[in-house]
A and B are shown apart, each in its own frame.
Chain A
Amino acid sequence: MIRRVPWVLSTLLAVLALALAVPSREPMAQGALANLPRNETLILENPEGTIKNAGWFNIWAINAGSQSNGLQQAALDTLWYIDPNRGLDGVWQNSLAAEKPVYNADFTQMTVKLRRGIHWSDGVEFTAADVVHTVATQVKHKNMRWSAALSLTVDAMETPDPYTVVFKLKKPNSRFHALFTVRWNAIWIMPKHVFEKVEDPLKFDFNKPVSLGAYVLHNYDPDGRWYIWRLREDWQRTTIGQIGKPGPKYLAYIDPGPPDKRVIAQMNHELDVIHDVAPEGMFTLAKQSKSSVAWFKGFPYAHPDPTLPALIFNTQNELFKSRDVRWALALLIDIKAVSMASYRGAATISAIGIPPTGTHPDFYHGPLQDWLSAFELDTGKRKIKPYDATIGRQIADLLRPSLGNQIPTDPKTIAASFGMGWWKTNPEAATELLEKAGFKKAGSAWQTADGKPFTVRVVVEGESRPVMTRAGSMIAEQWRRFGIDAKVDVAQGTLVTRRSAGDFDTIISWSVETWGGHQDLSYFLDSWHSQFIAQPGSPQPPRNWQRWPNPELDKIIEDIRKVGFDDSKSLELGREYVKLAVREMPTIPLMSYNVFTVMDTTYWTGYPTAEDPYTDPVPNWGNSRAMFVRLKPKS
């Protein structure tokens, strides 16, 4: 037996060496792609990770398969797109629709003219029948993804000709078209000629998918790690193809694993577009990978998504019903320290309830600067002007000694990169506000009006969202230093359930998401109407997690419902909301959700950046399809 030991060991080593040395058809050591030309393939991260039921492509079934595996970016289409940045040719794009939606006077009817000459990948022409079938199927089968939204709104549909659909609505709805307008996703149009033969669309996997986008499914991993899409030969017969020929012949959406592996994969040029990494990963790539680029050329690199992380109060909690208490807590926050702790300084701050991204700084942040500077807060003892318009610049100055030339000096670029102003830290004013609300300080600790310790739980998500967790921890620390018994409460996987149930005092999350490229705020604001606020303990519909009822806000929302999407009045009303939210502080806005999307220029050039902001580079957005027509192989 002992004699056999060397033999066994040699055999094992030989097998190992063979597996390593045998020339595989994979071009690179890490086995990125087999049988595909790397210089014709764009490899993107699918942040959904490994897909459990990989062979499911029926996106109209709830929570069934992957969405951002290329399905919604490359293979599906709908009536309109609004770009979160500037767009290829303006933010509004008529996609399957030939023109903007046309409403009747009381918004009970919407007419859509469809584009001609668009074909499904199996050669069948796209017509109004597909649109009608998409709606009718989901109304008929109540458990589909958009069943509820459609059955609550659509009364009837007419198709006067194959390229026109008239929607008759159950009640006035000036934003009905938003259901068919992509901001990340929307109601995708299903192929009637496929689904009409299906008995139960909830159990139909739609594999292999018939595509309406410029790409068709080429291959996928049954274990859910990768999906490869191939450019259609008739790409001209698609809406994106009518803009131009997509550069990559193949798109590979992959699960590259945790952040460290994404960084390694891009350094090895095996991952062209990283969806997101931690700030530290971004800094590593900026330093060590010459071919990697991000949204901003230098610090803070990240793309600000039209999403606004904030400290959200549970206003059904007695402690936070008082505006004075909410404002006191806001004035105890040092946003510079929060920016450093969370994004290592790479944050774009916002004092108002609108993300500082896309066209919003032009519509809201910029025009409201004077109002913010003049805004006065009554602490009970005096009036203060809490706004400091220079905080964005102060953050840039803080970073300059360590990052030097990477930090811009131009005030406009600083405002775009780090944000404009925020609230000055003011413990004295916070003391006065708390005292105004009846709170008292006993020794070094604050007590509520009824003499109990002032305890605040700050719910954070935990390691799955480290940046926001660090922001929450820093805020709790700042409150603790002031004498408030603030505790960080890590929710991990329970965050969604707890947020919905209102099981928090305060939570780091977001209840504001916008189009980014459009002034209209109804995307999130409509759900803030008091008619939708749940009773304490009952699940709250997204997005009014703060459960904040306010008659003035209700009036603004109702007025927005009455005006058209592009009406300048909606902008005025939007600004009214901003002013009201500043006065009332139902949430403390912090910063935009900055996404560290990193793009490798080894094989492809023409990625969207702050200098050429034609779309959002974040690859799970449906809008990221605009990237395909602008990417060119590196010569």
Chain B
Amino acid sequence: MRSYAKHIARRFAQFLLVVFIGINLTYVITHMTPIDPVEQSIAAVTSFGNTSPEAIAMMRQSLRELYGLTGGPFEQYINFWRRIAIADFGPSLSAFPTPVSALIARALPWTIGLLVAATLITWTLGNLLGGLAGYYHDKRSLNVLAVIAIGLHPVPYYIVAFVLLVMFGYVWPLLPIAGGYGMNMEQGFNVPFVLSVLKHSILPALSLMLIGLGGWFLGMRSLVSNVVSEDYVVYAELAGVDRRRILGSYVMRNALVPQVTGLALSLGAIFNGAIITEQVFGYPGIGSLLVSAVYAGDYGLVLGVTTVSIVGVSAAVLIIDLAYPLLDPRVRVA
């Protein structure tokens, strides 16, 4: 137990170090961007308007003060960490004066909702079918499934997404092709809204599942193929134990451990968002928010989104590290 406590302390210190380095790297990279948020704002204001050059010069100075871009680099860096310590990323420069945290808080539930559901369903189905295919390798239906999974897995994601979009949006216009829910609906826990959200999530979720399923399926199939040749499985079969019990209790249970690691990492990566999915399907989420922030040179928002992502992935790794000895007694913590 004492060694486990040490293990926790060590891993937690690593977690803090990774987060600190990650956020610092992001800070440096975002501040090296050649995009100047003040010029972006001025362009937005003047590209259509009639503003005199003198007024632009005055506006440029005002915006630097307003956006907190005055002061030396060290002063800005210290201010940044002061704010991070209280989880305040400051105002978004491209949606001034709305706080970055408010924008993230609005986008994150959409991303989490879509990706958690898609990841869990894909993981469950992929492992289940992969396990069956690995164990019952002579079943024709499962072999067909394997061929489909192998065929779909390498197809670039955006192609699958566009095919779905055209099929269900134009050829057979059954499903919404943009947005998180229908127009002119009130957000809340009411039946029309929930159904609309479900309906709008089908295509993006399906695209993620079609691509993700193959990976889990193939991974599990190959893990199970290895486990079935283990002595204890052969012994169980010779002893006449029911095959379904062998598969469920002896084979899949053992093969599942690395897949659980993969699941935890995938769940952690959810905070990265699904940029292509959100862009292709016009789905609200943190990926689209990040893209628009990068284009606008909105340091604060980029830092906010990436910090959430760094913490998410690092926390997932931490949880796996802490849970592994509990899941698999063969893993020693000493």
Contacts and interface: CB of A to CB of B under 8 A. Distances in A.
B97 A202 contact: yes
Interface string A209-251: 0000000001101111110100000000000000000000000
Nearest to A228: B184
Interface stretch (A329-337, A495-503, A568-576): A495-503
B47 interface: yes
B183 A2 contact: no
B289 interface: yes
Contacts of B292: 49-50, 52
Interface string A111-151: 00000000000000000000000000000001101111101
A62 B41 contact: yes
B182 A61 contact: no
Contacts of A19: 195, 198-199, 202
A312 interface: no
B62 A493 contact: no
B254 to A, nearest CB: 14
Interface string B181-195: 111110100001001
A398 interface: no
B176 to A, nearest CB: 4
Interface in A38-82: 49-50, 52-53, 56, 61-65
Interface in B153-196: 162, 165-166, 169-170, 173-185, 187, 192, 195-196
Contact of A20 (B66, B182, B199): B199
B177 A221 contact: no
A83 to B, nearest CB: 15
A52 B47 contact: no
Contacts of B181: 31
Contact of A149 (B39, B51, B96): B51
A532 B45 contact: no
Main secondary structure of the interface of A (DSSP, over half): loop
Main secondary structure of the interface of B (DSSP, over half): helix
A149 B187 CA distance: 40
B121 A31 contact: no
B51 A542 contact: yes
Given A30-B175, A526-B52, A527-B53, A24 B92 contact: no
A208 to B, nearest CB: 15
Nearest to A522: B50
B56 interface: yes
Interface residues on A, range: 35 or more
Nearest to A4: B128
A315 B185 CA distance: 54
Contacts of B57: 541
A105 interface: no
Given A1-B244, A12-B121, A493-B297, A50 B175 contact: no
B176 A29 contact: yes
B46 A34 contact: no
B264 interface: no
B139 to A, nearest CB: 12
28 contacts: A1-B244, A1-B247, A2-B132, A19-B195, A20-B199, A32-B183, A34-B185, A50-B282, A50-B292, A53-B95, A63-B95, A63-B96, A147-B62, A148-B54, A148-B59, A149-B51, A181-B50, A186-B49, A223-B180, A228-B184, A256-B178, A493-B35, A493-B295, A493-B297, A526-B52, A541-B53, A542-B51, A542-B56
Closest 8 CB pairs of A and B: A541-B53, A532-B53, A148-B55, A31-B182, A148-B58, A184-B48, A257-B282, A53-B95
